[in-house]
Amino acid sequence: MGADEKKVWLELYPDEIPASIDYDEKPLHEFLIDTAKRYPEKKALYFMGKEITYSELLDQTKKMASYLQSLGMEKGERVSIMLPNSPQSVIAYYGALMAGAIVVQTNPLYKERELEYQMKDSGAKFIICLDMLFPRVKNVINNTELKHVIVTSIKDYLPFPKNLLYPFVQKKQGQHPGKIVESDTVHLWSSIMKSPQADVKPVDVDPKEDLALLQYTGGTTGFPKGVMLTHFNLVANTQMSRAWLYKVNEGEGVTLGILPFFHVYGMTSVMNFSIMMGQKIILMPKFEPEDILKTIEKEHPTLFPGAPTIYIGLLNHPRIKEYDLSSIEACISGSAPLPVEVQEQFESVTGGKLVEGYGLTESSPVTHANFIWTNRVSGSIGVPWPDTDAKIFKSDTLEEAEIGEVGEIGVKGPQVMKGYWNRPEETEKVLKDGWLLTGDMGYMDEKGYFYVVDRKKDMIIAGGYNIYPREVEEVLYEHDAIQEVAVVGVPDPYRGETVKAFVVLKEGKQVSENELDEFSRKHLAAYKVPRIYEFRDELPKTAVGKILRRKLVEEERNKQSGKNAQ
């Protein structure tokens, strides 16, 4: 039997999507070099009113690469990038890769403890950060291998007169870092960009072997682990994106860049994809619903990769109907389950298509998605991408489950990581016979559509029954008073665990616990119905808006242990 004969989902593929792709075996940064040759004068980046062409972007990227090399950076050394979405985040990323470095994306929201851990674990010697983050970096330097800090400011890329006003805004917000003095170890971005173009020493990169990225997982299972992604892993996943978005033409279109580039989903689906395709990226450093609505109306983005909480946040803006959002043609939602209600509402507001996809840091990240223009199935994560195999495995074995049977999702393909940085034992647990075991529980239907029922570790066992939080959340999202919801298992003396729902209500809406109980009982088996509701103003989230269930579980455990200690 041929390798593709078992991939029943290939029969669903429209003619435009190939089952297999001839991938470019080249370093990731060559996407930028190639696009700048083809479209030198095309706008590459838009940032708060300032635009940068592809030739300018390449020129500044080369300056960064050559400067890093002049500081003695050698191939394979780690460069941390601690920046929000901005021209600097794109230039630093491709510049570090061009110089032969391995990029370590670092969340700008990290506190000193988290920053120190990541710098120590990765062994980064260089870090590129915002001026307002410099005090944080300075406080951890002595406990890490960091040797050089490159400091930039948002104002470095603001148009006149915003660049002059910005320091006053910083001061008013209490974020002014004071004067930063250049030294042998502290370097100013503005000075680097003023320097004449220097030659970048060519670096011999083996795309399939050499790492482009150490991307740290969110730490849902203990300390964050550095996922080792090669140039080829990232090139392959970006070229798969092009195959999936077959209606998008090279050199056309505008992508809305809200998803942070320090998260692998934003990095691939927004930055790498747009740079490869020669599109313009609208850089949004933070999620402000009003700003985003204004920007969509003014700049006419055609692609809008996002996460459910981003779409929910916009849909619940009281003035959404005042804005023209009709430029949006396609959105792939990732990082968390997409409620059907949200999908339908967003499509009716924009006229574009919004579909759910699936992936994880360990797979660069995308492995599955719904078809955007044909055969989509709401509630499903869709089907595997080209050259990607997926199976449902019976619990803790590599034995394949039956059609419709719930098990652990396993994936295989050119986008799957090499392993975890300096963690061979952790790598062995998840990479088996070429399969990446995702830790997500799901099933496949007879046509080849996959469904995620939940994280293996999030499953609630109450009175002997297996309950998947996602199923309960889907039902609660159908209630018109609920904006956001997270369901977790909390300790219960009788059932072992019981179901608790944390709820954020839409502005101006009210609902009681009894009403929610009645609503849930109409749609769920009695054992799945939440026994406890807690109303909150907001829920804890990751940078891409994924609700942190584990944080809620920890809070509950702490409450419980506090009660028991009394």
Q: CA–CA separation, 309 vs 528, rounded Å?
A: 24
For residue 269, what pLDDT is reported? 96
- pLDDT confidence band for 558 (50 / 70 / 90): confident
Q: Say how many residues make up the chain.
A: 566
Phi, psi of 250 (to 5 degrees): -60, 140
For residue 16, pLDDT over 90 is answered with yes
For residue 514, pLDDT over 50 is answered with yes
- For residues 473 and 168, the model is more confident at 473
For residue 1, what pLDDT is reported? 36
Contacts of 453 (CB under 8 A, 6+ apart): 406, 441, 442, 443, 468, 470, 471
Q: Which of 363, 473, 355 is nearest to 409 (CA)?
A: 363
- CA distances to 131, 155, 486 from 152, in Å: 6, 8, 37
Read off the pLDDT of residues 368-393 as tens digits, 9 standing for 90 and up.
999 999 988 988 999 999 999 999 99
Q: CA–CA separation, 53 vs 420, rounded Å?
A: 36
Read off the pLDDT of residues 37-56 as tens digits, 9 standing for 90 and up.
999 999 999 999 999 999 99
Both tokens assigned to 379: 């509630």
Task: Answer whether 360's CB lies under 8 Å from 410's CB.
Answer: no
- State the pTM of this model: 0.85
For residue 23, pLDDT over 90 is answered with yes
Average pLDDT (469-490) is: 92
Lowest model confidence (mean pLDDT) among 204-208, 317-321, 463-467: 463-467
Phi, psi of 484 (to 5 degrees): -140, 150
For residue 218, what pLDDT is reported? 58
Looking at residue 315, its amino acid is L
Q: CA–CA separation, 103 vs 124, rounded Å?
A: 9
β-strands 532-535, 353-359 pairing: unpaired
For residue 336, pLDDT over 90 is answered with no
Task: Answer whether 328's CB lies under 8 Å from 301's CB.
Answer: yes
For residue 67, what pLDDT is reported? 97
Lowest model confidence (mean pLDDT) among 227-231, 394-398, 482-486: 394-398
Average pLDDT (388-405) is: 92
Q: Which of 556, 559, 442, 563 is nearest to 501 (CA)?
A: 556
Q: CA–CA separation, 467 vs 248, rounded Å?
A: 40
Give 133's strand partners: none
Read off the pLDDT of residues 419-439 as tens digits, 9 standing for 90 and up.
999 999 999 999 999 999 998
Q: Which of 109, 124, 23, 147 is nearest to 76 (CA)?
A: 124
pLDDT > 90 in the chain, percent: 75
Highest mean predicted confidence (pLDDT) among 3-7, 298-302, 334-338, 467-471: 298-302
For residue 337, pLDDT over 50 is answered with yes
Domains of the chain, with CATH numbers? 26-438 (3.40.50.12780), 468-565 (3.30.300.30)
For residue 5, what pLDDT is reported? 58
β-strands 186-188, 431-432 pairing: unpaired
For residue 101, what pLDDT is reported? 98
For residue 221, pLDDT over 50 is answered with no
Average pLDDT (145-160) is: 94
Q: CA–CA separation, 226 vs 427, rounded Å?
A: 11
- pLDDT confidence band for 220 (50 / 70 / 90): very low
For residue 223, what pLDDT is reported? 73
For residue 4, what pLDDT is reported? 56
For residue 243, what pLDDT is reported? 98
Q: CA–CA separation, 420 vs 360, rounded Å?
A: 13
What is the DSSP code string of 75-126?
Answer: TT-EEEEE--SSHHHHHHHHHHHHTT-EEEE--TT--HHHHHHHHHHHT--E
Read off the pLDDT of residues 162-204 as tens digits, 9 standing for 90 and up.
777 777 777 677 776 778 999 999 999 999 999 887 799 999 9
- pLDDT confidence band for 219 (50 / 70 / 90): very low
For residue 564, what pLDDT is reported? 56
For residue 102, what pLDDT is reported? 98
